[in-house]
């Protein structure tokens, strides 16, 4: 498990300020959804946390260790793994080759073998299709592969960007069911960008609602769904 701290974080693209002085903390083992409308700054926030996007100012800490300014690969070695939007699997490689890509820096090969069995048990289709090209998988299976590939780095904290994107509702249900089970099994801290606030509320956990690059609400996801905060996040004044 890992604790995450984000302090006055801002992300700028030219003159556009996509993330505006965002601060929050994530406790060990917590599941935090980051939700809100298109253009809210959700993916930019995740990019800045994992080092893929340079922050204009502010800092990110994990277990008191400052991540800001470090390269993504160095951040990954410290126990933070990212599942990018759109999966971004290596279509020309086999499923097993995709899974093994992130294990090169791990010295305990027995632990790697154990983790491979864990993800195969969680997603049996990956075991069944282990020697098939990843590009031949369905969208849902590719999402399972992307999650499993991130888990193979043995992370303490995992960022997941839009896991439901482009998937049928029943497939999304399956992906979240397995992801939550793996979180409990591995003791992971999860931060998930999920545009569907109602979906996040059904899965359960804490929700950070963003609009216009700012955090407009922070609290229990299920409670948000029962009140007016979701509507306020989407249609209220973000200034």
**114-164 pLDDT, tens per residue?**
999 999 999 999 999 999 999 999 999 999 999 999 999 989 999 999 988
- pLDDT reported for residue 233: 58
- pLDDT reported for residue 19: 97
How far is residue 177 from each of residues 123, 163, 167, 174, measured CA to CA in Å?
11, 12, 14, 5
- pLDDT reported for residue 108: 84
End-to-end alpha carbon distance in the chain? 35
Phi and psi at 158, nearest 5°, equal: -125, 130
Q: Are strands 31-35 and 189-193 parallel, antiparallel or unpaired?
A: parallel
- pLDDT reported for residue 17: 95
Q: Is the pLDDT of residue 106 over 90?
A: no
Q: Quickly list H helices, 89-228.
A: 95-100, 109-122, 124-128, 139-151, 169-186, 197-203, 221-226
Q: Is the pLDDT of residue 198 over 90?
A: no
What does the DSSP 8-state code read for residue 55? Answer: -
Domains in the chain, please, with CATH? 4-86+158-235 (3.40.50.300)
What does the DSSP 8-state code read for residue 107? Answer: -
Q: Smallest Cα–Cα separation from 179: which of 195, 194, 196?
A: 194
Q: What average pLDDT does the segment 212-217 reach?
A: 93
- pLDDT reported for residue 37: 87
- pLDDT reported for residue 222: 83
Report the mean per-residue pLDDT for the chain. Answer: 90
Q: Quickly list H helices, the chain.
A: 42-50, 72-77, 95-100, 109-122, 124-128, 139-151, 169-186, 197-203, 221-226, 229-235
Q: Is the pLDDT of residue 226 over 80?
A: no
Q: What is the pLDDT of residues 46-97, one digit of tens each?
A: 999 999 999 999 999 999 999 999 999 899 989 999 998 877 899 999 999 9
- pLDDT reported for residue 92: 92
How far is residue 189 from each of residues 30, 101, 108, measured CA to CA in Å?
5, 22, 22
Q: How many CA atoms within 13 Å lie on the side-chain side of 220?
A: 4
List the structure tokens of 147.
């999650």
- pLDDT reported for residue 10: 97
- The pTM of this model reads 0.90
- pLDDT reported for residue 235: 59
Q: Is the pLDDT of residue 196 over 90?
A: no
Question: How big is the CA angle at 49 (ends 54 and 81), to the nearest 5 degrees?
Answer: 120
């Amino acid at each position: 498990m890992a604790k995450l701290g984000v302090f006055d974080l801002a992300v700028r693209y030219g003159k556009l300020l996509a993330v505006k002085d965002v601060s929050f903390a994530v406790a060990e083992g917590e599941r935090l959804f980051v939700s809100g409308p298109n253009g809210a700054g959700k993916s930019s926030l995740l990019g800045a946390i994992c080092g893929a996007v340079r922050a204009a100012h502010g800092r990110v800490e994990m277990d008191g260790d400052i991540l800001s300014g470090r390269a993504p690969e160095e951040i990954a070695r410290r126990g933070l793994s990212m599942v990018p939007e759109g999966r971004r699997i290596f279509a020309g490689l086999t499923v097993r080759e995709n899974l093994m890509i992130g294990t090169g820096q791990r010295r305990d090969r027995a632990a790697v073998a154990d983790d491979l069995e864990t993800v195969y048990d969680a997603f049996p289709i990956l075991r069944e299709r282990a020697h098939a090209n990843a590009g031949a998988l369905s969208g849902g299976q590719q999402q399972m592969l992307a999650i499993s590939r991130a888990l193979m780095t043995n992370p303490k904290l995992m960022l997941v960007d839009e896991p439901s994107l482009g998937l049928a509702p029943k497939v999304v249900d399956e992906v979240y069911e397995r992801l939550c089970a793996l979180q409990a099994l591995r003791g992971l801290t999860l931060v998930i960008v999920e545009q569907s606030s109602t979906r996040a509320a059904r899965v359960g956990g804490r929700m950070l609602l963003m609009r216009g690059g700012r955090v407009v609400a922070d609290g229990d996801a299920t409670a948000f769904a029962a009140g007016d905060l979701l509507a306020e996040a989407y249609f209220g004044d973000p200034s």
